[in-house]
Amino acid sequence: MDRDALPFPLAAGYTTLALNGAKGGATKYLCLQYLNYARWTSQQFSCNLPTSLQIMASLHLKSESGQWTPLGFLKFWRPAVTLLNETVHWGMKVPLCMALYQELRSSFGAHGGLAAATALSTAGEVALTGWSERFGVHMGRLGRVVQGLKQIGSYRESLRIACEARGNLLLGAWAGAGGLWVRNFSWNFTFFEWKRFLHNAVDRTPENAPQWFQDHLDWLRSLEKKNQANVLTFEAATLGTYLTFFNMAGDNIKTKMQVDPVRYTSVRATAGEIWTQHGLLGFTRGSLFKGIYLILGSTLAIGIQERLTEIMAALLR
């Protein structure tokens, strides 16, 4: 067994792994987008859980006359470009990093090679999905007039506002790309490292492991392989989410820059305002929503990716 390899099924090839990851990403959007919307709300206004829920309810669950509109819940899935974003994002995340890692591990080692591969693959993610991520946040978050922000009615209008604020098409379309890279790289690298470590630990218990961890590994070994892989993905996603401050910080910076490109023009200025107004806590806003969304979403997306790929590989044998 190659203990330095990333523990994802490759028997059916990178293309199959990518296609199944895309299916997982689309399923994640359809099932959990409302949590993503809640995260954007909390980060846009740098507010806590009760306040963000109150803002969401006042925007979409009540009409301007004060009547309840329960079907407004469906607006949490707006705009539809977020479906494209999640599909492409999760389709390329694992296979691109694995392909780059195979090329770089001999030169930089197991950990350095993974860090370099993750940095490059994350740059690819940002290049291909940064524009759709910006549309999703910018158009999805601005409902009826809130703190002077008006409804954005079209992709063209959203792009015009961002381009005018940044001065050109590239900077406008990819507004918040720096924060997006910081967020994605920190989570991707931490997730891949923990995923590999946990799979290796199940295969062979680490020396001097505490008893509670040994007991946990014994329980994991009692599971079927497909269920074991899902649990390990869940655990790696949890550790990758809550043990990485830069993941939360980058996400807050990215959201603010995308939702209001006129006010937030650079990573440094955005980070400075968050620190001045909210302190260190401001960089972690939305962490509860983000944690639930990312942990459940990645478990769902990668679980679908792994299972479908293994099924297809078995059919090809």
Give me the tens of pLDDT residue by residue for the chain, a chain 317 residues long.
689 999 998 877 899 899 999 999 999 999 988 888 888 888 888 888 888 888 888 888 887 777 888 888 888 887 888 899 999 999 999 999 999 999 999 999 999 999 999 999 999 999 999 999 988 888 876 544 444 344 576 888 889 989 998 889 999 999 999 999 999 999 999 999 999 999 999 999 999 999 999 999 999 999 998 889 899 999 999 998 887 888 888 888 988 898 888 889 899 999 999 999 999 888 888 877 777 888 888 888 888 888 888 777 776 66
What's the rounded Cα separation, in Å, for the pair 180 and 184? Answer: 6
Give the largest Cα separation in the chain, rounded. Answer: 65
Give the CATH number of the domain where residue 119 resides: 1.50.40.10
- Domain assignment present for 235: yes
Which of 239, 234, 246 is closest to 180 using CA atoms?
246
Query: Is 273 within the bounds of a domain?
Result: yes
9 in a domain, yes or no? Answer: no
68 three-state secondary structure = strand
Evaluate whether residue 2 is within a structural domain: no
In a domain? residue 8: no
Q: Which pLDDT does position 243 carry in this prediction?
A: 79
Strands of 109-214 (E only): list them: none
Q: Which residues, 6+ apart, have CB-to-CB distance to 201 below 8 Å?
A: 209, 213, 217
Number of domain units in the chain: 1
The single residue listed with the structure tokens 């689309």 is 26
Domain that holds residue 128: 14-316
d(CA 115, CA 189): 6
State how far the Cα of 306 lies from the Cα of 236, in Å rounded to an integer: 15
Cβ atoms of residues 244 and 187 within 8 Å: yes
Structural domain includes residue 1: no
Count of CB atoms within 10 A of residue 124's CB? 14
CA separation for the pair 302, 204 (Å, rounded): 23
pTM: 0.85
CA end-to-end distance (rounded Å), the chain: 20
Cα radius of gyration rounded to whole Å, the chain: 20
Query: How far apart, in whole angstroms, are the C-alpha atoms of residue 104 and residue 114?
Result: 8
